[in-house]
Amino acid sequence: MLKLHWIMKSLALLVLMIAFLGCASTQKQSSPGEFIDDSVITTKVKAAIFEEPTLKTLQISVETFKGEVQLSGFVDSAQNVKKAGEVARGVAGVKSVKNDLIVR
């Protein structure tokens, strides 16, 4: 009976370890918590860009992965490229910004 109890505890521990490892993030995938955090950052960056008077454009796309924000799309000037990067960097939770905006 004692051996059966020990086997059941070990099996339960193994199942819990596998469950927790299944939720861990990798370099190419984010965990559910990181995905939600990235969604919040993306929304905040989009709102900050839209609220900036010089950047009122819907031609800027924002994507976030593990706190790294990527800006892509088109703007009118090099100053707007720089300004969009500055605005994105100013949002809480942003670790870095990859600015791929193109001047049209």
Assess whether pLDDT exceeds 80 at residue 59.
yes
Average pLDDT value for residue range 14-39: 65
Average pLDDT value for residue range 32-42: 77
- Which of 87, 84, 64 lies closest to 75, judged by CA? 84
Domains and CATH numbers, the chain: 31-103 (3.30.1340.30)
Q: What is the number of other CB atoms lying within 10 angstroms of the CB of residue 49? A: 20
Average pLDDT value for residue range 82-93: 95
